[in-house]
């Protein structure tokens, strides 16, 4: 599920390493943020296990100066912006070794909660498959803006020309997005972010970070946005959810249904990962008589599950639930879906409500589903499928289920944030 919005502090500490003389290090492993780790520990980005390097700085974070002995797993990064851009951390690592490291990190996270399970071969997204990106914008020349990602360990912007992780259609839109962002800087405090999603009907863009206290954008700026959106043939542009332009509803297919997305709607980062995860979830739910799909969003799993059995679907976002409900008419033949907007943290589905449910699927935000998991543990449900973007909170919630008599049978690791330290998973529990 979509993580809550981050709130940044008003003061911005300098994340760069303190000055210091160059020194030699031997890299023993890779840390949780993708940096090489030398004894100390000392963290050195862009270094790999077994390498002997020179790094400068002081304290536990240094900057790589030179690789004296290269790892056989070192490869040439495919992106010209790598090292400067903060979006990717591991383009310099051979893919097989990199993926093994991700899976080992997942296994280690489970082990810290004394959890063992069958770990299946990981699903790995390839380059050019990301269908949603968040691009920051800064004021540029007349009629244009600078658009890109935050620089590594900095608040500066890397003005990108290409992005190898993104779908080619997103890359091709970058010049148009720079023109779209140009009218957004009427107020000096504006720091816009363009949340771009590739849908079946075109690009959907929700713009946040435009200063609104002064009255928001002028009518002229809004007209320019609409003109640029029309010229680029965008599907829709919204300003923090408020409609600015729409040629057609942004739509995606989720299993048998066609869903009109609300502004800022969450989707899995790649269509391939979504399909792999949904197939795994549906296989695990096979034979169910009634299913609960908790933290369902716009129906990533709901419609596929409803081909198996009647589904109760709940999510904390009313707009997502409305989109799910509206899409039911596009998928005849389902076993039935009852959808509800419900805060599953403050008002989790209770064990008594699960009396007729034999399979529960839950896909919470990064914070996990601690309150909901307690109720699942109290229920008589026989099978549970957990989808998670945060192995640490998944392991915590899994321990609650295991202590109540469940067993984590198998886990599918999912790598859809290519060249980042981020790894996701789907786990199947049974009593």
| Cα 263 to the center of its chain, rounded Å | 17
Residue-level pLDDT at 200? 98
Query: Known binder of ligand: residue 358?
Result: no
Residue-level pLDDT at 18? 61
pLDDT in tens, 9-58: 333 334 555 667 899 999 999 999 999 999 999 999 999 999 999 999 98
For the question of residue 163 being annotated catalytic, the response is: no
Dihedral, CA of residue 89, residue 91, residue 96 and residue 97, to nearest 10: -50
pLDDT value at 405 more than 90: yes
Provide the token pair at 269: 């980062």
* CA separation for the pair 203, 235 (Å, rounded): 5
Cross-strand partners of 147: 137
Query: Known binder of ligand: residue 315?
Result: yes
Quote the radius of gyration of the chain (alpha carbons, Å). Answer: 23
What letter would DSSP give residue 421?
A: S
CB 296 within 8 A of CB 314: yes
Core vs surface per residue 30-43: b (16+ CB within 10 A) or e: beeebbbbbeeebb
Query: Known binder of ligand: residue 295?
Result: yes
> Which among 85, 163, 296, 389 is annotated as catalytic?
389
Query: Known binder of ligand: residue 94?
Result: no
Residue-level pLDDT at 140? 86
Provide the token pair at 419: 């060249």
| Cα 58 to the center of its chain, rounded Å | 33
CB 94 within 8 A of CB 73: yes
pTM of the complete model: 0.91
pLDDT band at 156 (very low <50, low <70, confident <90, very high): confident
In order of their start, the domains of the chain are: 1-74 (2.40.50.140), 99-126+269-430 (3.40.50.150), 132-251 (2.40.50.1070)
Total count of residues recorded for the chain: 431
Provide the token pair at 222: 């809004």
Q: Which helix (H) or strand (E) holds 304?
A: helix 302-305
Cross-strand partners of 55: 23, 64
- The SS3 of residue 413 is strand
* CA separation for the pair 393, 171 (Å, rounded): 34
pLDDT in tens, 157-207: 999 888 999 999 999 999 999 999 999 999 888 899 999 999 999 999 999
* CA separation for the pair 375, 372 (Å, rounded): 5
Residue-level pLDDT at 429? 98
């Amino acid at each position: 599920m979509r993580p809550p919005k981050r709130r940044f502090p008003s003061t911005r500490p300098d994340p760069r390493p303190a000055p210091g003389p160059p020194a030699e290090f031997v890299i023993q492993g890779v840390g949780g943020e993708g940096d090489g780790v030398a004894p100390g520990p000392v963290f050195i980005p862009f270094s790999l296990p077994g390498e002997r390097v020179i790094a400068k700085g002081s304290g536990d974070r240094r900057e790589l100066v030179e690789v004296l002995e290269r790892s056989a797993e070192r490869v040439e990064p495919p992106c010209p912006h790598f090292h400067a851009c903060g979006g990717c951390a591991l383009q310099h690592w051979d893919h097989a070794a990199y993926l093994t490291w991700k899976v080992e990190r997942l296994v280690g996270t489970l082990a810290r909660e004394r959890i063992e399970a069958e770990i299946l071969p990981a699903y790995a997204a390839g380059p050019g498959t990301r269908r949603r990106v968040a691009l920051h914008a800064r004021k540029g020349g007349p009629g244009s803006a600078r658009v890109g990602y935050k620089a590594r360990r900095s608040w500066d912007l890397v003005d990108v020309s290409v992005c190898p992780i993104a779908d080619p259609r997103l890359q091709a839109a970058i010049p148009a997005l720079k023109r779209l962002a140009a009218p957004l800087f009427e107020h000096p405090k504006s720091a816009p972010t363009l949340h771009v999603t590739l849908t079946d009907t075109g690009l959907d863009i929700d713009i946040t970070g435009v200063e609104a206290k002064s009255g928001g954008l002028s009518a002229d700026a809004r007209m320019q946005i609409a003109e640029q959106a029309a010229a680029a043939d965008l599907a829709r542009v919204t300003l923090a959810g408020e409609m600015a332009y729409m040629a057609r509803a942004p739509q995606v297919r989720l299993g048998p249904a066609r869903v009109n997305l609300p502004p800022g709607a969450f989707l899995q980062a790649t269509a391939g990962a979504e399909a792999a995860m949904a197939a795994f979830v549906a296989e695990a739910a096979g034979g169910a008589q009634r299913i609960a799909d908790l933290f369902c969003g716009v129906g990533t799993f709901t419609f596929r599950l409803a081909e198996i059995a009647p589904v109760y679907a709940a999510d904390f976002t009313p707009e997502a639930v409305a989109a799910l409900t509206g899409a039911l008419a596009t998928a005849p033949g389902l076993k039935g879906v009852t959808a509800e907007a419900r805060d599953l943290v403050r008002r989790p589905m209770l064990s008594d409500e699960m009396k007729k449910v034999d399979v529960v699927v839950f896909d919470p935000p990064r914070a996990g589903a601690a309150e909901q998991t307690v109720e699942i543990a109290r229920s008589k449900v026989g099978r549970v499928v957990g989808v998670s973007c945060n192995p640490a909170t998944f392991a915590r919630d899994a321990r609650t289920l295991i202590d109540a008599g469940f067993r984590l049978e198998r886990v599918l690791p999912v790598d859809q944030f290519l060249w980042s330290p981020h790894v996701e998973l789907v786990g199947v529990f049974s009593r």
